Structure 1
Amino acid sequence: MIKWILLILTTVFTTKLYADEAYFQTRCDSIKKERETIRSKFRHGYTIKEGEYLTSRDKFLFTQLANHCSKPKKSGSAYQATSSTSTRTPNSNWLLNQKVSNMSLHSDSYKDAAKLDAWSTFYKLPKRCRKKGIGSADFVWCSEYRGKQKDLFEAQWKEHP
């Protein structure tokens, strides 16, 4: 008897979940269509009052899409394959946080391979510039520091035969 109750409850809840998913997907599709309609109205003439309404409605719909419709569609097999591999890891940025040994600094500043290798060896990025979520003051400091280091490198490179 308990097995039958569990079977019925499981069936009801899974059916409800699939129905909710289908409902949300149709709602997401309708939000996308409404945003497309608003964007087409932006390209045509409108009054100031209409423009304010369209802008606020577009922002609201954008927020709704971001909050409720960020999951990929089931039908996109290529997209689904890439998203399923990224969902296996607890942190989607895990690759960015990996330490890499013998990592050289990428720069397109120099076309000469020897000069680029010398620059990669010379310039070491300070810890202050490697922080996650770097502030604007640190960003400016890092940019200025890199410029000074580049000037110093150029002076040493000219002396190098």
Structure 2
Amino acid sequence: MIKWILLVFICVFTTFPQAGDAYTQAQCDSIKKQRETIRSQFRSGYSTKEGERLTARDKALFTLLANHCSKPKKSGSAYQAASSTPTRTPNSNWLLNQKVSNMSLHSDSYKDAAKLDAWSKFYKLPKRCRKKGMGSADFVWCSEYRGKQKELFEVQWQGRQ
């Protein structure tokens, strides 16, 4: 038991000096191989304590991959030139926060471009429907609300014709 704790302790604290550096492709491949080994152990039988140890190690390896292997440096280069732009953005979800100019909220609602544009201007998503971790009651309410709004929109759209 003490050996396992010591192993995890050493693995965690040996990564701190390298926290800002990107790993080489070989290091990233080694971490991926270790995760595959742990995954295969998950598929075989194990005790509760062994499962907890495997889970902790898998999470630690996942974190290492996320922090250091998104853009690994080349294996052969001992020196990496410093650039004026950082290699890692502070927000890991930067792509999710990018605005897309031709994106509409309900792009699959209507095939007619004019009707889709009118629907996008008509329907406003309530705050209740925008929160994270929405419960099933809120989800049902939002679905029903959208359906009622779509019916109202259809009546107004038919009145234009």
TM range (shorter): 0.5 to 0.7
Structure showing greater radius of gyration is: 1
Shift of 1:25: 7.0
Aligned to 2:89: 88
Q: Is the 8 A contact 1:74 1:80 kept in 2?
A: no
CA distance in structure 2 between the partners assigned to 1:33 and 1:109 by the alignment: 42
- Structure 1 length as normaliser, TM-score? 0.53
Q: Is the 8 A contact 2:129 2:142 kept in 1?
A: yes
Aligned to 1:107: 107
Task: Please tell me whether residue 130 in structure 1 is matched to residue 130 in structure 2.
Answer: yes
The percent of aligned pairs where both chains have the same amino acid is 52
3-state SS in 2 of match to 1:140: helix
Aligned to 2:146: 146
CA distance in structure 1 between the partners assigned to 2:128 and 2:148 by the alignment: 16
What is the 5 A alignment of 1:17-56? Answer: 17=17, 28=31, 31-35=34-38, 37-38=40-41, 52-53=45-46
Shift of 1:99: 9.1
Which blocks of at least 5 consecutive residues in structure 2 are unaligned? 1-13, 73-85
Shift of 1:27: 7.8
Shift of 1:26: 9.1
Structure 1 residues 123-145: Cα deviation after superposition (integer angstroms, max 9, x where no partner): 01111112233333222211111
Q: Is the 8 A contact 2:28 2:65 kept in 1?
A: no
Cα gap change, 1:130/1:94 in structure 2, threshold over 3 Å: closer, same or farther? farther
Tell me which moved more, 121-130 or 67-76: 67-76
- Structure ranking higher on relative contact order (CA contacts 8 Å, 6+ apart): 2
Q: Is the 8 A contact 2:31 2:65 kept in 1?
A: no
Letter in 2 for 1:71: L
Aligned to 1:119: 119
Which blocks of at least 5 consecutive residues in structure 1 are unaligned? 1-13, 43-50
Q: Is the 8 A contact 2:38 2:58 kept in 1?
A: no
Q: Is the 8 A contact 1:128 1:138 kept in 2?
A: yes
- Structure 2 length as normaliser, TM-score? 0.53
Structure 1 residues 26-72: Cα deviation after superposition (integer angstroms, max 9, x where no partner): 98456324246448xx6xxxxxxxx6439996775344212344223
CA distance in structure 2 between the partners assigned to 1:55 and 1:141 by the alignment: 41
Shift of 1:115: 0.9
What is the 5 A alignment of 1:67-78? Answer: 67-72=60-65
CA distance in structure 1 between the partners assigned to 2:60 and 2:148 by the alignment: 44
